[in-house]
């Protein structure tokens, strides 16, 4: 054993240089400091650097979605109008009729056109007309072939007219051109303050509009920019080109926010695309449109985390890193035999303190071979256990948690969040547009049955009827089944899936009806009487009733029924930016939704009763902050004079306030993010410390105490090549020295006897 009193100073630094660079206790502490400083920067820039926007993204998106909804409704109306006209004309290919008869049948099936006319293809001579005068002047009919031309817009003294075309077979004049005229109007009116919706053609002329007119130069410039953007690029397949932008601020700081959408969708089947129409939805926002509850929250949180990071790093260095490094140096000193008379200097608490006390006992045993370990060192089991290294780690985790929890709690504090009035108005208008689109789709389905009614006759010719039904089912994807019921309710012919409701109770007057009041899914259908007429006034159907009552006595002829697909209405309710959407019957039971729902179940949003009551007078909306998560609720009835108007159905939407792209929501989400990042950094580094250093150090402390208590058989193996592993190697060397010392002490009497024997004379 060396007895050098003052070993060279470079040994100390050489021992520290022997430590691994990526292992041990120093890397996780350094990484924790770096990660927390990175979170400090993110907090200061992402949360503290957030500024209010005078044109909130929620307002811009609301205008964009409103334009998209209106454009989609207009596109569907144009495509449906042209498609219905062509399908109606195609039914006369096998049975040509007189021009007046064609227009009469067309008017009986559809009431959507203001005027219809039939002209000769070669001369342009008018053969028949019905309703409003169709503006035919200026049309080039010389290039019309057997393929009907695309719809066109014609300017008239009473406003623009949309002309749809179809080639129809007539008796005396052969194939002629069927022309239908209609006005192109927005689906619903804007109700928000300063809200304006316009339809523009490719030259910028306003086709239709609602709300205040945009007469200011700044407003005209931003509208022109939006129209140019809508027509600049071709959208992808089944994609509506849309966007939003904000104009320059006026003298009062108000800005015009514009959302635009192209009516065409760019697909080959798109009939409305060549019209070049653009829908512009706009509103004004004042200078204080955006707001933050706590503008200085980000900077305060960043400063607090900076202090926390420095304190944690200092605490871990002082309580863990330095004691462990000192312990390593002391253990290495003992193994090298340096300054054996000097007591072991080490911490008094924790696992490092236990190891230091064990090293001190081992030093004394090395100095005094006669020292008995079982008398001088207490057993490990008898020593009171304390938290040790887990205590500072838990304290650090608690400090980071106390910083993160307030930030995480911001994600649920939406009660006092201010919602711009433009967003509430857009929610109301879009809900009304959705209800109108559902109403139109159901009425179109009913009109389809009226259109095929002449081809079905009285339903007696089953083969011919089935062919017509199959053709209609192939043309219209909204139906799951089309079938003809006799007066007694038996199925005469069908196409598609099996009918769900037959029998005498299924026969009744025309209209759209609900076939059931309960079941796995609502069954909605349209019905039209075949052959003969019935007294519609005396037997007006109760559209809100289920078709389970006795049949009307006036209906003595077959009826054609079309059952809608379950996902037909769900597709109509799929609207981006509206949140949760439900279609309710007159009992406020759910018939369809844009998400999973319970058929005929109660409305999940129980707070919508007030807006539903107000919806009886017109579309209504309100911000509800009590009884659950704050949300923007809106409701609209399926009104109108069609067969759907008397159903009493409603559309209800609920947009959670937390889903809106508002300044405060963005700040809250960023605050939650940095709070989670802070927790993740602490969990990673503190967990690394506990697993890589704490657990091996705890096991090593127990082994060191056992060694000091006299256990010379257990070999100590280092777990990692780090400071704890270095201490374990030193303890193993000390164990070997003590073992050799014990063996020499045990062999000393025998050696003395042998030596004495050799010295005795014979």
Question: What is the phi/psi pair of residue 376, to 5°?
Answer: -95, -25
CA distance 34 to 305: 12
Identify the pLDDT of residue 379: 52
Contact partners, residue 571, CB within 8 Å, separation at least 6: none
Tokens of 151: 């719809």
DSSP 604-642: S-GGGHHHHHHTTTS-EEEEE-SSSS-EEEEEEE--SSS
Identify the pLDDT of residue 76: 85
Tokens of 288: 């204080």
CA distance 316 to 219: 62
Q: Strands 511-514 and 491-496, how do they pair?
A: unpaired
Question: What is the phi/psi pair of residue 635, to 5°?
Answer: -145, 150
* Contact indicator for 606, 627 with CB cutoff of 8 Å: yes
CA distance 298 to 671: 8
**DSSP code at position 685:** H
CA distance 559 to 531: 9
Exposure string of 96-118, with b = 16+ CB inside 10 Å and e = fewer, is bbebeebbebbeebbebbebbbb
* Contact indicator for 367, 382 with CB cutoff of 8 Å: no
Domains detected in the chain: 10-45+298-408+680-746 (no CATH), 570-659 (3.30.450.20)
Identify the pLDDT of residue 161: 87
Identify the pLDDT of residue 676: 95
Torsion of CA 449, 451, 453, 457, to 10 degrees: -150
Which is nearest to 61 in space by CA: 423, 410, 583? 423
DSSP H/E element including 242: strand 242-246
CA distance 157 to 137: 13
Identify the pLDDT of residue 11: 43
pTM of the model: 0.78
For the chain, what is the radius of gyration of the CA atoms? 43
Tally DSSP H helices, then E strands, for the chain. Answer: 17, 20
CA distance 363 to 372: 13
Identify the pLDDT of residue 147: 74
Q: Is 251 helix (H, G, I), strand (E, B) or coil?
A: coil
Contact partners, residue 701, CB within 8 Å, separation at least 6: 351, 352, 354, 355, 358, 388
> For residue 294, with 0-12 CB atoms within 10 Å meaning exposed, 13-18 middle and 19 or more buried, which class applies?
middle
Identify the pLDDT of residue 596: 84
CA distance 250 to 293: 27
CA distance 594 to 637: 17
* Contact indicator for 121, 146 with CB cutoff of 8 Å: no
Tokens of 281: 């939805």
| Displacement of CA 520 from its chain's centroid (Å) | 27
- Cα-based distances in Å from 248 to 56, 66, 253, 258, 598: 14, 21, 9, 12, 48
**DSSP code at position 228:** H
DSSP 172-205: TTEEEEEEEEE----SS---STT-EEEEE-TT--
What is the per-residue pLDDT across 152-176, written as a single tens digit (0 to 9) for each? 888 888 888 888 898 888 887 788 8
CA distance 735 to 721: 19
What is the per-residue pLDDT across 642-671, written as a single tens digit (0 to 9) for each? 778 888 899 999 999 988 888 888 888 889
Q: Which residues of the chain have pLDDT under 50?
A: 1-5, 7-19, 21, 237-238, 381-382, 533-553
Identify the pLDDT of residue 4: 46
**Vertex 220 angle, CA 255 and 252, to 5°:** 25
Which residues face 650 on adjacent strands?
584, 637
Question: What is the phi/psi pair of residue 702, to 5°?
Answer: -65, -40
Identify the pLDDT of residue 374: 58
CA distance 186 to 644: 20
CA distance 135 to 118: 12
């Amino acid at each position: 054993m060396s007895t050098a009193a003052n070993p060279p100073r470079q040994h100390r630094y050489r021992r520290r240089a022997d430590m691994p660079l990526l292992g041990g206790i120093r890397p996780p502490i350094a990484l924790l400091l770096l990660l927390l400083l990175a979170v400090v920067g993110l907090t200061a820039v992402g949360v503290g650097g957030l500024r209010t926007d005078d044109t909130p993204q929620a307002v811009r998106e609301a205008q964009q979605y409103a334009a998209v909804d209106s454009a989609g409704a207009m596109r569907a109306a144009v495509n449906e109008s042209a498609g219905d006209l062509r399908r109606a004309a195609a039914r006369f290919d096998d049975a040509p009729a007189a021009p007046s008869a064609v227009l009469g049948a067309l008017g009986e099936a559809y009431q959507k056109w203001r005027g219809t006319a039939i002209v000769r293809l070669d001369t342009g001579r008018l053969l028949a007309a019905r309703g409003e005068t169709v503006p035919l002047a200026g049309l080039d009919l010389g290039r019309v072939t057997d393929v009907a031309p695309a719809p066109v817009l014609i300017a008239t003294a009473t406003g623009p007219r949309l002309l749809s075309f179809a080639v129809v077979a007539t008796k005396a004049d052969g194939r002629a051109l069927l022309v239908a005229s209609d006005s192109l109007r927005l689906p619903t009116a804007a109700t928000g303050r300063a809200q304006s919706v316009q339809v523009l053609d490719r030259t910028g002329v306003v086709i239709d509009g609602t709300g205040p007119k945009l007469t200011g130069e700044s407003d005209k410039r931003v509208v022109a920019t939006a129209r140019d953007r809508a027509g600049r690029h071709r959208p992808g397949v089944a994609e509506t080109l849309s966007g939003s932008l904000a104009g320059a601020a006026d003298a009062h700081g108000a800005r015009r926010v514009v959302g635009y959408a192209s009516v065409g969708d760019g697909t080959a089947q798109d009939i409305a695309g060549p019209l070049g129409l653009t829908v512009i939805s706009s509103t004004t926002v004042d200078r204080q449109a955006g707001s933050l509850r706590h503008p200085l929250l980000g900077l305060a949180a960043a400063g607090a985390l900076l202090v926390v990071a420095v304190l944690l790093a200092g605490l871990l260095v002082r309580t863990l890193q330095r004691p462990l490094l000192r312990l390593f140096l002391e253990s290495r000193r003992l193994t090298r035999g340096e300054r054996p008379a000097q007591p072991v200097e080490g911490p008094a608490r924790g696992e490092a303190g236990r190891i230091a006390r064990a090293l001190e006992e081992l030093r004394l045993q090395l100095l005094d071979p006669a020292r008995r370990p079982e008398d001088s060192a207490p057993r490990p089991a008898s020593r009171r256990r304390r938290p040790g290294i887990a205590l500072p780690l838990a304290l650090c985790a608690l400090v980071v948690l106390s910083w993160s929890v307030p930030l995480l709690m911001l994600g649920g504090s939406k009660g006092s969040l201010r919602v711009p009035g433009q967003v509430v108005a857009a929610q109301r208008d879009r809900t009304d547009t959705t209800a109108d689109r559902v109403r139109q789709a159901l009425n179109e389905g009913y009109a389809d049955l009226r259109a095929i009614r002449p081809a079905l006759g009285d339903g007696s010719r089953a083969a011919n009827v089935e062919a017509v039904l199959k053709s209609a089912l192939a043309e219209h994807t909204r139906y799951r089944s089309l079938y003809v019921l006799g007066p007694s309710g038996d199925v005469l012919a069908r196409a598609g899936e099996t009918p769900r409701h037959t029998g005498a109770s299924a026969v009744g007057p025309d209209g759209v009806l609900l076939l059931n009041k309960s079941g796995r899914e609502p069954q909605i259908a349209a019905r039209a009487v075949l052959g003969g007429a019935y007294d519609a006034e005396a037997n007006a159907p109760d559209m809100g009733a289920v078709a389970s009552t006795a049949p009307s006595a006036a209906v003595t002829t077959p009826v054609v029924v079309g059952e809608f697909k379950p996902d037909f209405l769900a597709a109509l309710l799929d609207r981006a930016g509206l949140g949760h959407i439900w279609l309710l019957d007159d009992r406020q039971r759910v018939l369809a939704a844009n998400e999973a729902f319970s058929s005929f179940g109660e409305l999940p949003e129980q707070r919508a009763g007030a807006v539903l009551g107000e919806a009886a007078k017109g579309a209504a909306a309100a911000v509800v902050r009590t009884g659950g998560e704050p949300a923007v609720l809106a409701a609209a009835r399926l009104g109108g004079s069609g067969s759907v108007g008397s159903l009493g159905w409603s559309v209800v939407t609920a947009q959670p306030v937390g889903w809106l792209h508002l300044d405060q929501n963005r700040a809250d989400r960023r605050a939650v993010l940095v709070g989670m990042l802070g927790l993740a950094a602490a969990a990673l580094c503190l967990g690394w410390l506990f697993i890589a250093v704490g657990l091996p150090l705890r096991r090593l402390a127990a082994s060191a105490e056992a060694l000091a208590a006299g256990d010379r058989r257990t070999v100590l193996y280092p777990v990692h090549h780090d400071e704890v592993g270095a201490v374990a190697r030193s303890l193993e060397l000390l164990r070997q020295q003590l073992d050799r010392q014990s063996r020499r002490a045990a062999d000393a009497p025998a050696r003395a006897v042998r030596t004495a024997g050799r010295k005795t004379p014979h």
